[in-house]
């Protein structure tokens, strides 16, 4: 199908990141360059030609900083160091240079809510009550009976407090006990984190993904959280039984965001996107991105943790993001969530579903984030309990599709080690995903890999799809429809999220067919069919 001649990518009036497609790389599992079974920065550099070939605008690299790896890099012990397992700072510089040579922007994670308990800041803080960093973390005295100061619970299970004999106080941790909570109410802590941001900006990065940002401040009065009402969903953690109104999501986060934005603005076209989850995530994402003096975008777990994908759910999720200054980002998969094809469809429907899912993601208003291997349709790998390494999965087994199963190595070739390593891979590769290896899909013109490239090219070629308005969203059973518009260009997007054919109402049939997925026509959408109509 031939599309009309229109400008490619954002216009001069639009920043590069508006409507961008961002490819997430989990460095441990992308490509190993030295045979130790763990992916590294040099491996990423080696595979950037594949990423660039997709037509994405940027890469986001999950943490590669110095870390004891209790939470696989999200427990940072040196914010400005590269962990030896991933390489050196010189390797990172080479990666940035190569990415820029491919026309790719580089975003990296920043973890500001907590550090590792091996960080020098924490070592000093726990040493005494009177040292220079004594209040850089969240410390509190026990209750009279020796129990923790309040009822706050950790995301990974158990109290959000651990006793420290050195200070004879409890310290707070929203996640693992090896991840003590930074006290961002302290201006000196904010200054230190802003210096970290400057360090990486000086290294040439083009922006940041801000991890668990709404966890970065607590209620100084340490008030108990109230109980959460039962919403009918299975609750596997004590954390799920509370409304986190005091342990996170404090108003002061916005002021820190404004300080961070001011630093980023010193460096020009830097993109900032926050990860925001929780009980009131949508309101927080909007607050964090309001105006031009806060963050550019934010994303949450709307789709990442959704047990099913229905037309009504998509319509309801998109309802609050149609217009205004807030610009969302959307991800169907990432390193913290099970693969979408394993959550949302039957095994026999995975191939068709993955094609429709990709078409839907590319049509949503906002930025899109692709997780490595999503362009291949990778499924969730089944990791037996005895091989689990993910602390969250171990704590909540068996009521979880573990994060380990979404973090298995990228399959580059259909062979035992997948072209990922010459050693023993840190996680096993499944036969099902090896059959979806890059080389296999490159050789098949009908593969999801080729479809992903076509969809990204289409999105980049049509301003209505990349950064246009979002309107007339309607869910009618399994049929989802909405329109995108920019500069007089109108695109109608139709999706069948069910396993039975759906007849398209006559009122939705007009326009030129620009893209059809799974045999969709203006009259009928077969199971998991998708259609874009121009005009």
Backbone angles phi, psi at 352, to 5 degrees: -65, -45
What pLDDT was estimated at residue 231? 85
- The gap from C-alpha 346 to its chain's centroid, in whole angstroms, comes to 24
Q: Is the pLDDT of residue 502 over 60?
A: yes
Q: Which residue has the higher pLDDT, 535 or 358?
A: 358
Q: What is the CATH number of the domain that holds 514?
A: 2.60.40.1180
Q: What percent of the chain has pLDDT over 90?
A: 88
| Beta-sheet strands, E only, within 388-509 | 469-476, 479-486, 489-496, 502-503
In a domain, 159, yes or no: no
Q: What percent of the chain has pLDDT over 70?
A: 97
Q: What is the pLDDT of residues 46-69, one digit of tens each?
A: 999 999 999 999 999 999 999 999
In a domain, 142, yes or no: no
Q: Specify whether 328 is located in the same domain as 477.
A: no
**Which H or E run includes 512?**
strand 512-517
**Which H or E run includes 201?**
helix 187-202
Q: Which of 427, 392, 399, 389 is nearest to 179 (CA)?
A: 392
Q: Specify whether 453 is located in the same domain as 486.
A: no
Q: Specify whether 474 is located in the same domain as 330.
A: no
Which of the residue ranges 226-240, 304-318, 383-397, 472-486 would you say has the lowest mean pLDDT?
Answer: 383-397
Helical residues (DSSP H) of 25-116, grouped into ranges: 41-46, 48-54, 89-101
For 297-300, the CB contacts below 8 A with 24+ separation are 297/17, 297/271, 297/272, 297/273, 297/327, 297/328, 297/329, 297/366, 297/367, 298/273, 298/274, 298/328, 298/329, 299/273, 299/274, 299/275, 299/328, 299/329, 299/330, 299/331, 299/367, 299/369, 300/275, 300/276
Q: Is the pLDDT of residue 286 over 60?
A: yes
Q: What is the CATH number of the domain that holds 60?
A: 3.20.20.80
Query: Domain boundary residue among 459, 483, 511?
Result: 459
d(CA 135, CA 298): 29
What pLDDT was estimated at residue 36? 98
pTM of the model as a whole? 0.95
d(CA 448, CA 437): 11
d(CA 155, CA 238): 8
Query: Domain boundary residue among 435, 459, 483?
Result: 459
Respond yes or no: is residue 211 known to be catalytic: yes
- Number of domains comprising the chain: 2
Q: Which of 211, 336, 381, 483 is catalytic?
A: 211
Q: Is the pLDDT of residue 1 over 50?
A: no
d(CA 183, CA 188): 10
What pLDDT was estimated at residue 208? 98
In a domain, 387, yes or no: yes
Backbone angles phi, psi at 473, to 5 degrees: -80, 130
DSSP-assigned beta bridge partners for residue 374: none
Q: Specify whether 255 is located in the same domain as 281.
A: yes
Pairing of strands 479-486, 489-496: antiparallel
Q: Specify whether 449 is located in the same domain as 475.
A: no
What pLDDT was estimated at residue 11? 53
CB atoms within 10 A of CB 490: 18
- Domain assignment of residue 522, given as a range: 470-534
Residue 378 DSSP code: P
Backbone angles phi, psi at 162, to 5 degrees: -130, 135
Q: Specify whether 360 is located in the same domain as 475.
A: no
Q: What is the pLDDT of residues 453-498, one digit of tens each?
A: 999 999 999 999 999 999 999 999 999 999 999 999 999 999 999 9
Alpha carbon distances (Å) from 98 to 51, 151, 204: 12, 49, 12
What pLDDT was estimated at residue 325? 66
Considering just the CA atoms, what is the radius of gyration of the chain in Å?
23
What pLDDT was estimated at residue 232? 86
Q: Is the pLDDT of residue 362 over 70?
A: yes
Q: Is the pLDDT of residue 12 over 80?
A: no
What pLDDT was estimated at residue 388? 83
What pLDDT was estimated at residue 326? 86
In a domain, 455, yes or no: yes
CB atoms within 10 A of CB 84: 9
In a domain, 316, yes or no: yes
d(CA 260, CA 280): 23
Check: CB of residue 64 under 8 Å from CB of residue 86: yes
Query: Domain boundary residue among 459, 480, 514?
Result: 459
Q: Specify whether 415 is located in the same domain as 359.
A: yes
d(CA 471, CA 469): 6
Q: Specify whether 447 is located in the same domain as 513.
A: no
**Which H or E run includes 211?**
strand 207-211
Q: Specify whether 407 is located in the same domain as 513.
A: no
What pLDDT was estimated at residue 401? 62
In a domain, 432, yes or no: yes
In a domain, 173, yes or no: no
What pLDDT was estimated at residue 5? 35
Q: What is the pLDDT of residues 163-188, one digit of tens each?
A: 999 999 999 999 999 999 999 999 99
Which of the residue ranges 365-369, 397-401, 479-483 would you say has the lowest mean pLDDT?
Answer: 397-401
Q: Specify whether 515 is located in the same domain as 425.
A: no
Mean pLDDT of 32-37: 98
User: Positive or negative, the Cα torsion across 30, 80, 300, 336?
Assistant: positive
d(CA 499, CA 496): 8
In a domain, 348, yes or no: yes
What average pLDDT does the structure give for the chain? 94
Q: Is the pLDDT of residue 278 over 90?
A: no
What pLDDT was estimated at residue 4? 34
d(CA 442, CA 496): 27
Q: Which of 266, 308, 323, 386 is catalytic?
A: 266
Q: Specify whether 401 is located in the same domain as 505.
A: no
Helix pair angle (187-202, 252-265), 10° resolution: 30
Half-sphere exposure of 297 (CA within 13 A, CB side): 27
Respond yes or no: is residue 266 known to be catalytic: yes
Q: Specify whether 244 is located in the same domain as 314.
A: yes
């Amino acid at each position: 199908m031939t599309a009309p001649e229109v400008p490619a990518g954002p216009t001069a009036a639009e920043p590069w990141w508006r409507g961008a497609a961002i490819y997430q790389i989990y460095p441990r599992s992308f490509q190993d360059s030295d045979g130790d079974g763990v992916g590294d920065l040099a491996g990423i550099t080696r595979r950037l030609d594949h990423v660039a070939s997709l037509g994405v605008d940027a890469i986001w690299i999950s943490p590669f900083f110095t870390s004891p790896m209790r939470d696989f890099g999200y427990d940072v012990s040196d914010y400005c160091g590269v962990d030896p397992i991933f390489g050196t700072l010189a390797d990172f510089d080479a990666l940035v240079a190569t990415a820029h040579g491919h026309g790719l922007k580089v975003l990296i994670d920043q973890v500001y809510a907590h550090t590792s308990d091996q960080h020098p800041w924490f070592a000093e803080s726990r040493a005494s009550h009177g040292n220079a960093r004594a209040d850089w973390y969240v410390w509190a005295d026990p209750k009279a009976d020796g129990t923790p100061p309040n009822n706050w619970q950790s995301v990974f299970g158990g109290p959000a407090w651990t006793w420290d004999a050195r200070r004879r106080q409890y310290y707070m941790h929203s996640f693992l006990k090896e991840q003590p909570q930074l006290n961002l109410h302290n201006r000196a802590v904010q200054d230190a984190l802003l210096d970290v941001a400057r360090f990486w900006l000086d290294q040439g990065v083009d922006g940041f993904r801000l991890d668990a940002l709404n966890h970065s401040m607590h209620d100084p009065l340490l008030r108990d959280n109230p109980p959460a009402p039962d919403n009918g969903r299975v609750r596997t953690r004590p954390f799920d039984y509370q409304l986190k109104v005091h342990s996170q999501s404090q108003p002061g986060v916005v002021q820190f965001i404004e300080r961070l934005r001011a630093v980023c603005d010193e460096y020009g076209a830097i993109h900032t996107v926050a990860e925001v989850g929780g009980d009131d995530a949508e309101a927080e994402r909007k607050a964090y991105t309001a105006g031009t003096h806060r963050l550019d975008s934010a994303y949450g777990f709307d789709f990442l943790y959704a047990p099913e994908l229905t037309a009504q759910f998509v319509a309801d999720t998109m309802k609050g993001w149609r217009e205004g200054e807030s610009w969302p980002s959307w991800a169907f998969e990432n390193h913290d969530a099970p693969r979408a094809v394993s959550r949302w469809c039957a095994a026999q429907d995975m191939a068709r579903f993955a094609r429709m899912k990709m078409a839907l993601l590319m049509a949503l208003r906002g930025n899109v984030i692709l997780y490595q291997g999503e362009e291949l349709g990778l499924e969730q790998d089944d990791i037996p309990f005895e091989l689990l390494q993910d602390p969250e999965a171990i704590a909540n087994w068996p009521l979880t599709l573990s994060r380990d199963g979404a973090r298995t190595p990228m399959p580059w070739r259909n062979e035992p080690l997948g072209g990922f390593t010459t050693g023993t891979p840190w996680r096993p590769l499944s036969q099902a995903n090896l059959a979806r290896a890059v080389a296999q899909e490159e050789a098949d013109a009908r593969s999801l890999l080729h479809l992903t490239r076509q969809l990204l090219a289409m999105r980049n070629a049509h301003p209505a799809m990349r950064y246009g308005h979002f309107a007339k969203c309607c869910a009618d059973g399994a049929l989802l429809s909405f329109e995108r518009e920019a500069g007089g260009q109108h695109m109608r997007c139709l999706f069948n999220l069910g396993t039975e054919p759906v007849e398209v109402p006559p009122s939705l049939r007009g326009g030129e067919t620009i893209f059809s997925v799974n045999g969709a026509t203006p009259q009928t959408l077969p199971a998991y069919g998708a259609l874009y109509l121009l005009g």
